Structure 1
Amino acid sequence: MLDKNSISKAIDNLRLPMAIMVVAIHCYFFNSLNINALPSKWGGYLLSGL
């Protein structure tokens, strides 16, 4: 069985790659849909949320 310490360490190690993957997928879909009307304040808000 995995103890809580190793589980939390695994989650910490996966947090950054997951955030990068979410941003990459988000940008990919927005580019593929040609939606360029995203306000800059939303972009700054999403990036500051990470």
Structure 2
Amino acid sequence: VAELMDYGRELLGVDDVMDGVAEMIPEVQVEATFPDGTKLVTVHDPIV
């Protein structure tokens, strides 16, 4: 799960979104299915 959280920060950068959008989204939550069940993965500061 920690690896996914780190990877989530790499998907979008400030240059990929309009001005001000990065500051408007403090976190993104995704419900993901793993072999051991479903987990809620939270990515803090997803756009850097």
Q: Fold match, TM over 0.5? A: no
Bigger radius of gyration among the two: 1
Q: TM-score normalised to the size of structure 2?
A: 0.31
Structure showing greater relative contact order (alpha-carbon pairs closer than 8 Å, 6 or more residues apart): 2
TM-score, length-normalised on structure 1? 0.31
Q: Which has the higher strand share?
A: 2
